[in-house]
Amino acid sequence: MKKKHTLKSIFSIALMLVSVTTLFAQEKTKDTIKKPKTERYGIRVGVDLHRLAKSIYDSDDYKGFEVMADYRLTKKIYIAGELGNEKKTVDEDQLNFTADGSYLKVGFDYNTYGNWLDMENMIFVGMRYGGSSFSQQLNSYNIYNTNPYFGETTKYPGQKFEGLSAGWLEVLAGIKAEVVNNLYLGFSVRLNYMLHQKRPENFDNLFIPGFNRTYEGGNWGVGFNYGISYFIPFYKRSK
């Protein structure tokens, strides 16, 4: 009986050791075999809040909107673009004019930010080619006479120049940060260089939709946008 009891105890201890060893092996296997980390790929679509706000607080002189989108092509590279319309009236000492037209920009963004965990934020640089089709209305201009007896003369020609166009390159830098699930706020600054433009006779393209203001026929311009966008995921890839 004593021998049987001893064998039974040894068997119980061995069984317990096997159970503990098996449990340890299972936990180790779980730690070793992990699911691969994935990243989402899809399209992000939004609007420029700056142009919408300006259309409200400066409604007498400006109307505009811009739709923007980017599509994640690789881990770091996004195909990106903007489509918009602007109508702006400029009132200066010597002239008053209104520019009205649409524009399209296409290019890419490169994300320089190394995200961790499930973050999908961006600190990016990029480039665009922009094209615009527009018209300009010369509302009035002043002619200054050097003879003090005649003074200033105001003219109202009511002349409209249609069928104008322009093309340019943009270099840009900006950020996009996820504020809630799939909703992003972003900001970018842009330096523009004019490649070609069709000018009206006896006048100049003083404001080009999408390019912004030009000065004395110069080729350089600056701009920015501040937008909100929503990300629509299509599929996932392993990191």
Question: What pLDDT is recorded for position 71?
Answer: 98
Please tell me which residue, 154 or 183, carries the higher pLDDT value: 183
pLDDT band at 25; cut points 50, 70, 90: very low
Q: Worst-scoring range by mean pLDDT, 17-26, 89-98, 159-168?
A: 17-26
Dihedral, CA of residue 6, residue 11, residue 14 and residue 15, to nearest 10? -140
- Percent pLDDT > 90 in the chain is 60
Q: 200: buried, middle or exposed (CB in 10 Å: 19+, 13-18, 0-12)?
A: middle
- Kindly report the average pLDDT of the chain as a whole number: 84
Please tell me which residue, 22 or 153, carries the higher pLDDT value: 153
Residue 32 has pLDDT above 50, yes or no: no
Q: How far is CA 125 from CA 72, 141, 162, 164, 187, in A?
A: 14, 41, 35, 30, 12
Is residue 99 within 8 A of residue 76, CB to CB? The reply is no
Please tell me which residue, 210 or 204, carries the higher pLDDT value: 210
Beta strands in the chain (DSSP E): 38-48, 62-72, 77-91, 95-111, 122-144, 152-155, 159-180, 183-198, 207-208, 212-213, 220-238
Please tell me which residue, 185 or 143, carries the higher pLDDT value: 185
Question: What pLDDT is recorded for position 18?
Answer: 39
Q: What is the pLDDT of residues 46-71, one digit of tens each?
A: 999 999 999 999 999 999 999 999 99
Is residue 82 within 8 A of residue 68, CB to CB? The reply is yes
Question: What pLDDT is recorded for position 212?
Answer: 92
